[in-house]
């Protein structure tokens, strides 16, 4: 069983004991998402696969937050933000823009990229290196800057 999954289960127990209903419901939702994927794929998930599920969940929550904020539903928008905060506790620390820029520059040299036409190769290599620690949109922006 993946370490991250065990940690989620421990945190769920702690949330039950402390009576933190919001945290408990968020962690339960994460565990149920993970179990659903495990059942569908008929295998135990690795920490990396679980991180991908958590990232997808955060992305969905951010999109929901934006929709609620546009509609003026501050109560629901704040609920989404709280869920995002809980989930981010279980994700690896994101890389800073400087760290990302350095990785992008190294990768451009490694793959021998010279123009924006090589962006696909660079993006794939960078995303493999920064799995779970950077958003694709940020990486894409940096790669474009460096190749143009």
CA angle 135, 137, 139 (to 5 degrees): 70
Q: Are residues 20 and 51 in the same domain?
A: yes
Q: Note whether 34 and 69 are same-domain residues.
A: yes
Same domain, 24 and 83: yes
Q: Same domain, yes or no, for 131 and 71?
A: no
Do both 81 and 33 map to the same domain? yes
Q: Span 30-44, mean pLDDT?
A: 93
Mean local confidence (pLDDT), 116-122:
83
Answer yes or no: do 61 and 130 share one domain: no
Same structural domain, 78 and 22: yes
Residue-wise pLDDT for 89-114, tens only, equals: 998 888 888 888 899 888 888 888 77
- Are residue 77 and residue 126 in the same domain, yes or no? no
Pair 73, 112 in one domain: no
The residue among 138 and 83 whose pLDDT is bigger is 83
Answer yes or no: do 12 and 81 share one domain. Answer: yes
**Do 15 and 79 sit in the same domain of this protein?**
yes
**Considering the entire predicted model, what is its pTM?**
0.74
Full residue range of the structural domain in which residue 140 is found: 97-147
88, 113, 135: which is the final residue of a domain?
88
Same domain, residue pair 84 and 137: no
Contacts of 70 by beta carbon, 8 Å cutoff, 6+ apart = none
């Amino acid at each position: 069983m993946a370490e991250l999954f065990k940690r989620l289960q421990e945190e769920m127990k702690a949330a039950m004991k402390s009576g933190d209903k919001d945290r408990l419901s968020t962690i339960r939702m994460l565990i149920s998402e993970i179990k659903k994927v495990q059942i569908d794929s008929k295998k135990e998930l690795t920490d990396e696969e679980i991180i991908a599920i958590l990232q997808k969940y955060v992305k969905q929550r951010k999109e929901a937050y934006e929709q609620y904020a546009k509609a003026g539903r501050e109560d629901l928008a704040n609920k989404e933000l709280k869920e995002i905060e809980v989930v981010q506790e279980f994700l690896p620390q994101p890389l800073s823009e400087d760290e990302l820029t350095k990785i992008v520059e190294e990768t451009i040299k490694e793959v021998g990229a010279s123009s924006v036409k090589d962006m696909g190769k660079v993006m794939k290599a960078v995303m493999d290196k920064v799995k779970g620690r950077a958003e694709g949109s940020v990486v894409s922006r940096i790669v474009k800057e460096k190749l143009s």
